[in-house]
Structure 1
Amino acid sequence: MQAVLDTIIDHKQRDTRLMWALCVASVVVYINLYLMQGMLPLIAEHFTVSGSKATLILSVTSFSLAFSLLLYAVLSDRIGRHTPIIVSLWLLALSNLLLIWAPDFNGLVLVRLLQGALLAAVPAIAMAYFKEQLSPSTMLKAAGIYIMANSIGGIVGRLLGGVMSQFLSWQESMWLLFLVTLAGVALVNYLLPSLADAQAMSKSKTEPSLSKRARLAQDLHGFSHHLTDAQMRLVYAIGGLTFMMMVNQFSFIQLHLMAAPYEWSRFQATLIFLCYSSGTIASYFTAKWLAKFGQHKLYQWSWCVMLLGSLLTLFDTTLTISLGFLMTACGFFLTHSCCNSFVAMRASRDRAKATSLYLCCYYLGAAIGGPYLMMFWHEAQWRGVVMGSLTLLALIALAITRLHYHQTNDVRALA
């Protein structure tokens, strides 16, 4: 009996370490991804480019991250989940040294393209790691906490970027980023279950006897399996369109707040990212709300909250902008949590590929959203950005409706 109890305790400790290791890794990744969003004014000044052009640095990082997700999905299915995460995080920490001596804006773009590829490992693998190692109930809880960690990393990264932009030079800022990343990676390295345990627990490694051509065919079949699933495609679209709108709204609102009549400082403009806190809270409760209200209701409520939040900012006061972004962030993270949980639970095979396809669409949305909303910004400033967002919300509503239609038909078919 004691041996059974010891085994249960060991499993719980291992599950807890896995959950917190990937959450810390997520915070490290999202600090590195979004710190530049809080530093847009300093980037524009240091590299002598316009504020709107500086926002492109977010698009190029998201672009390389999006396609790298697919590569990590294949890699982790072949060699396990542990090694790609650890190696990519250590390389990420070292790559921050390159930012210190970036010679010009083009050089910065190249380094961020490289970092986008390194940032992809954790988001590509984390949910598949959870699904393989945790029970369904624990997995839903872990998924909610993991999305909350994403939000915390995004908030900390943007606010840290704002502080750096206001008080430090470019080189000083990048040295601080290097040290913060190094400390976080060392903690992940300590918390993540050992390589031997991770490999022993892995359930998705490809048989070594397969030829290279057979492995490639197997990988392509894994991706196509999920892409031919109508419900998966719609969830991919919902996540991509939602992120396309939300993350880029936060970029352009900084430019709006730093202009007349507000004329906020660099640091003050980044305080708008505190509105992410509503998303952090919402993420934590998503699993409970999913069980109580169902997925479709949460999608509908999230969409309504994002619509009202976007419209509220048109009143153009500090209060209405803040309330609007609190609502938009809450609606977005509810949607993102629903999408993440849906993909992880629906994928009965090739789980890392399913997650990476979702996140590929998600970050492609971020990459495309910058240039897309920039057109509206140049035409009508913030009001233009809201108009561009309403178009995206219409497409999201269509995808949510179609998803519900397919799910209802599936239920009827099984009845």
Structure 2
Amino acid sequence: MSPASTGAPTAVGAVPTASAAPDPAPTADSDSRLTPGGPGYRRMSFALFLAGVATFALLYSTQALLPLISGEFGVTASEASWTVAAATGGLALFVLPMSALSERFGRRTVMTASLAVAVSVGVLVPFAPSLGVLVALRAVQGAALAGLPASATAYLAEEVRPRALITAIGLFVAGNSVGGMSGRVITGWVAQEWGWRVAVGVIGLIAVGCAVAFRMLLPTPRHFKPGSLRPRVLARAVRDHLANPLLRRLYAIGALFMTVFGGVYTVIGYRLTEAPFGLPQGIVGSIFLVYLVGTVSASTAGRLVVRLGRRGALYLAGGTTAAGLLLSLAPTLLLVLLGLVLITAGFFAGHAVASSAVSKTAAHGRAQAAALYQSAYYVGSSAGSTVGAVAFHASGWAGTVGVGVLAVVGVVTITAFGSRAARLAARSEPVPATR
């Protein structure tokens, strides 16, 4: 999905790099970068939109199908959830290395290679003979997909004029959202008729088409300046960011919010296909249309911060998420759906606030700061998918809700600790001398 923008999905799908800063003060006439209405801009925008669709459709392609995978392989929800956790975990581990490779070999090269590997694996996934092989393939797929969030926003920052950058990033983010949502919806309906293998195969073929069109449409970069792979520089930036208390809190908040979200949406299929609801697979897949609520809440997060401050917005997001979790315990389908709406709205708002704060807080090495947030975010996704499924196996939906509530309590506690630290820091500032 960066976390370095004011909207949540950008944080999910893009990692800006420090080298992505525009050249110093180009004039409007001399600036040869892309701009809306100019040659190449539409091709570039559509190409990255398709890349976003392919990335997130592949990344979460098995999430809506877990009950069917459990049934075929005779495994529990917690075991089947590894098909999601392995992909997001692979992405989390490889975001930093991929960001470094894009600095050396170029954004388009890394994105193209990443998509090529990911879609190739996607074509093999339907033929996995066992759960172990399926999980291994998904881990490789997630690691390959790490090259997209590590490179896409950097490409845009280098090739698009600053005034058009937010719009261009928005189109890429739209691809992320559409891919994540449509992948789950499509697999749900296809699987209902032909099974989960055909469903993930269809997603794989769609991703192949997106990858081919992406490579054909994306303009050749004209402003990329290759750097060298210097592990010491990377390690120093990572060390500095992890030494920053505020950044550590933001990373933890992002991971905890995603723990809630990953757990809920990994297990919700089991909840809705079992009694008392007994919904068919196609309807369960369509539940992911609730993601549209997240798009709205993420877009309003900036206004929440203006009115309530960053910590106030985080408190509100955490409270909304917790209310949704508790409401989803109801045995009524309408109330469960309303609970999912609140969980989704709260998650995306909180994620938007935390992710945008990362880029504002990092004084240098913003690429690495954002990549660390990405890693924490997807570690949270993997943990939520696994722990939420284990809790469901042990205690039903109430167990998954309990894990989510504990994560929200963690968010509120960390935010309160940050508020206290800020007050203490303000008190310790020297008072200006007066004459």
Conserved 8 A contact 1:100-1:174: yes
* Match of residue 201, structure 2, among 168, 175, 185: 175
Paired amino acid for 1:323: L
Q: Alpha-carbon deviations, 1:162-185, whole Å to 9, x = none? A: 112211244533432232001211
Q: Deviations over 1:246-291 (max 9, x none)?
A: 1211121211111111111122222321221100222334445545
Q: Name stretches of at least 5 consecutive residues in structure 2 with no aligned partner.
A: 1-26
- Answer whether contact 1:143 1:337 (CA < 8 A) is retained: no
2:392 alignment partner AA: W
Q: Is the Cα–Cα contact under 8 Å of residues 88 and 118 in structure 1 kept in the other structure?
A: yes
Identical positions, percent? 27
Matched to 2:239, the amino acid is: S
**Cα contact 1:148–1:284 (8 A) shared by 2:** no
8 Å CA contact retained: 1:165, 1:267: yes
Partner of 2:345: 330
Instruction: Determine if contact 2:90/2:139 at 8 Å carries over to the other structure.
Output: yes
Matched, 1:163 2:189: yes
1:377 aligns with 2:398: no
Equivalent position of 2:297 in the other structure:
282
Output the TM-score relative to the length of structure 1: 0.86
Q: CA–CA distance in 2 between the matches of 1:250 and 1:179? A: 24
**TM norm structure 2:** 0.83
Larger helix proportion, structure 1 or 2?
1
**CA offsets 1:57-96 (integer angstroms, 9 cap, x no match):** 1111122111011211221232332221121112212222
Amino acid at match of 1:84: V
Contact 1:144/1:286 (CA < 8 Å) preserved in 2?
A: no
The 1:354/1:20 distance shift into structure 2, 3 A limit, reads farther
- CA offsets, 1:210-251, max 9 Å, x none? xx7xx2211211211211121111111111111011121112
Q: Does 1:317 align with 2:332?
A: yes
User: Which amino acid is 1:388 matched to?
Assistant: V
CA contact (8 A) 1:242 1:396 kept: yes
**RMSD between aligned alpha carbons?**
2.9
| Structure 2 counterpart of 1:296, from 288, 305, 311 | 311
Q: In the alignment, which residue of structure 1 is the partner of 2:69?
A: 43
- The CA distance in 1 between the partners of 2:218 and 2:261, in whole Å, is 32
Cα gap change, 1:375 to 1:45, in 2 (>3 Å): closer
Moved more, 173-182 or 59-68: 173-182
The 3 A distance-change label for structure 1 pair 295 and 188 is farther
- Aligned with 1:261: secondary structure? coil
Deviation at residue 127 of structure 1 after TM alignment = 4.1
Q: Which residue of 1 aligns with 2:130?
A: 104
Work out whether residues 128 and 355 of structure 1, in 8 Å CA contact, stay in contact via their aligned partners in 2: no
Residue of structure 2 equivalent to 1:90: 116
SS at the partner of 2:129? coil
Partner of 1:246: 261
User: Displacement, 1:146?
Assistant: 4.6
Please tell me the residue identity of whatever aligns with 1:358: Y
Secondary structure of 2:148's counterpart equals helix
Q: Compared with structure 1, are the counterparts of its residues 287 and 132 closer, same or farther at alpha carbon in structure 2 (3 Å cutoff)?
A: farther
Q: Distance in 1 between matches of 2:31 and 2:378?
A: 40
Residue 342 of structure 1: aligned partner: 357
Give the 3-state SS of the residue equivalent to 2:399 in structure 1: helix
1:36–1:58: 8 Å Cα contact kept in structure 2? yes
Distance 1:137 1:293 in 2: 28
Residue 329 of structure 1, CA deviation: 0.6
Deviation string, structure 1 residues 361-411 (Cα, Å, up to 9, x no partner): 111111122332234323321112112211111101122223444556677
CA pair 6-234 structure 1, distance change in 2 beyond 3 A: same
Q: Quote how far apart the aligned CAs of 1:32 are.
A: 0.5
Larger mean Cα displacement after TM superposition, 128-137 or 225-234: 128-137
Aligned residues: 402
Determine the structure 2 residue equivalent to 1:114.
140
Change (3 A) 1:340 1:377: same
**Which segment drifts farther, 35-44 or 182-191?**
182-191
The more displaced of 277-286 and 345-354 is 345-354
